[in-house]
Structure 1
């Protein structure tokens, strides 16, 4: 289970807890290899019928630690 999914499980995101989701995690590093920031992106299908994803979720690491917990920053629905 990815960190975005864990964030949704622990928060107040009722209908998103069990939705189908494709999640990707991205880490920005410096030239010397130090981790700078972490972002998780998810494409979710909140409908139970298993339709196409219609929700884009964006989360970032909390506390300035790329390896820490994430919090949901934004969600965008398809038109």
Structure 2
């Protein structure tokens, strides 16, 4: 969790493009690209702004299979 928080802080500060892989009921595996707006380690969620859709996704840690920078 500590490394997640470190990454989240760095991504938010640099406004870096990230992607989130998740499993959605009835939709299957999906991937969202966007920028990290906020996160709360205590509540267990992240808010991602999707550049393409111009929308905000609030995701709980339980929904997320993988989250990473697109710079890899």
With the shorter chain as reference, the TM-score category is: 0.3 to 0.5
Q: Determine which structure has the larger helix proportion and give its number.
A: 2
- Computing the radius of gyration from Cα coordinates, the structure with the larger value is 1
TM-score for the superposition, normalised by structure 2: 0.39
TM-score for the superposition, normalised by structure 1: 0.36
Q: Determine which structure has the larger strand proportion and give its number.
A: 2
